[in-house]
């Protein structure tokens, strides 16, 4: 017959003392951080009306901008929209510059060093009507992409994701085993709000879901290439799509 042994004194309370509640918020961090910025520019109603008029006038005058980039149907302007002379276009350019230079300043080390960067911006107008969409794609030869929302159109509320931008998780196997209905299982969708500007890394696969509804959905995508301190005289020309600024890191 097996003899029962008494537990050493105090052992019965050891588990309560050795295993306490964990403050997960204090202990958790996220690896492979991907900066995205969503900012709602105030007082944009008049600007967006002017942009709508300018872009739709260009569309009427140019029937060649259909299916030239990632769009399936709809219209995308050719060339660099930043070079258009209208003042409303230049406001969008300044907003893009402000956002990107602000992000650069944030991610630079706070070491007191001044560094000079030039932004090379390539922009175009994206016009979608009922049934139009953008296929899954990336934006090669750029560091960040910035989209400015001019008009959401009138999407059919009964159709999920109508006309919404979605970023695709680059971790190919991340969704193989997942706990449903958590913050880790939420599609990365961007709402079409007039005046919103959304920045994301250009390498991120993304798409625009088919727009189902009436009216017209208008956005202005921008590809931003960042160059630090031009090295050669040939690279120091300034086209309408460039901006140069000296920055110092502000840290976290």
Q: In CATH, what number is assigned to the domain containing residue 82?
A: 2.60.120.620
Residue 134 confidence class, pLDDT cut points 50, 70, 90: very high
pLDDT higher at 137 or 178 = 137
Closest by Cα among 69, 209, 108 to 153:
209
* Residue 245, both tokens: 């600024």
Helices (H), the chain: 11-18, 24-27, 45-61, 87-107
In a domain, 248, yes or no: no
**pLDDT score, position 183:** 76
Number of domains in the chain: 1
Closest by Cα among 95, 93, 150 to 121:
93
**pLDDT score, position 152:** 97
Where b means 16+ CB within 10 Å and e means fewer, 192-208 reads bebbbbbbbbbebebbb
CA distance linking residue 246 with residue 132, whole number of Å:
41
Is 50 strand, coil or helix? helix
The mean-pLDDT minimum among 77-81, 108-112, 216-220, 240-244 falls in 240-244
CA distance linking residue 92 with residue 41, whole number of Å:
10
Residue carrying the six token digits 């009922």: 130
In a domain, 151, yes or no: yes
Closest by Cα among 89, 22, 77 to 240:
89
**pLDDT score, position 65:** 67
The mean-pLDDT minimum among 28-32, 94-98, 130-134, 247-251 falls in 247-251
In a domain, 25, yes or no: no
Residue 233 confidence class, pLDDT cut points 50, 70, 90: low
**pTM listed for this prediction:** 0.82
In a domain, 46, yes or no: yes
> CA separation (Å) from 83 to 7, 12, 161, 196, 239?
82, 76, 32, 22, 8
Residue 60 confidence class, pLDDT cut points 50, 70, 90: very high
In a domain, 108, yes or no: yes
Residue 19 pLDDT exceeds 90: no
Q: What distance separates the 2 farthest-apart alpha carbons in the chain?
A: 98
Q: What is the mean pLDDT of the chain?
A: 87
Q: Domain span at residue 198?
A: 34-230
In a domain, 38, yes or no: yes
In a domain, 245, yes or no: no
* Residue 210, both tokens: 């088919």
In a domain, 75, yes or no: yes
The residue-averaged pLDDT of 129-142 equals 95
């Amino acid at each position: 017959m097996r003899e029962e042994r008494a537990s050493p004194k105090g052992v019965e309370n050891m588990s309560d003392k050795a295993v306490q509640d964990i403050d997960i918020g204090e202990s958790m961090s996220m690896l492979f951080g991907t900066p995205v910025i969503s900012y709602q520019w105030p007082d944009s109603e008049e600007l967006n009306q002017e942009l709508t008029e300018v872009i739709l006038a260009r569309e009427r005058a140019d029937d060649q901008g259909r299916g030239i980039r990632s769009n399936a149907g709809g219209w995308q302007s050719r060339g660099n929209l930043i070079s258009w002379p209208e003042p409303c276009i230049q406001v969008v350019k300044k907003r893009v510059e402000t956002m990107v230079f602000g992000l650069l300043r944030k991610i630079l080390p706070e070491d007191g060093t001044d560094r000079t960067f030039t932004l090379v911006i390539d922009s175009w107008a994206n016009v979608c009507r009922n049934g139009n969409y953008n296929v899954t794609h990336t934006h090669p030869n750029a560091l960040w992409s910035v989209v400015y929302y001019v008009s959401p159109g009138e999407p059919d509320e009964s159709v999920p994701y109508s006309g919404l931008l979605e970023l695709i998780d680059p971790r190919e196997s991340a969704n193989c085993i997942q706990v449903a209905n958590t913050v880790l299982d939420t599609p990365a969708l961007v709402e079409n709000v007039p005046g919103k500007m959304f920045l994301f890394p250009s390498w991120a696969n993304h798409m625009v879901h088919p727009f189902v509804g009436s009216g017209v959905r208008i956005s202005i995508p921008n590809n931003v290439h960042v160059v630090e301190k031009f090295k050669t005289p040939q690279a120091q020309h300034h086209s309408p799509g460039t901006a140069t600024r000296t920055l110092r890191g502000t840290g976290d």
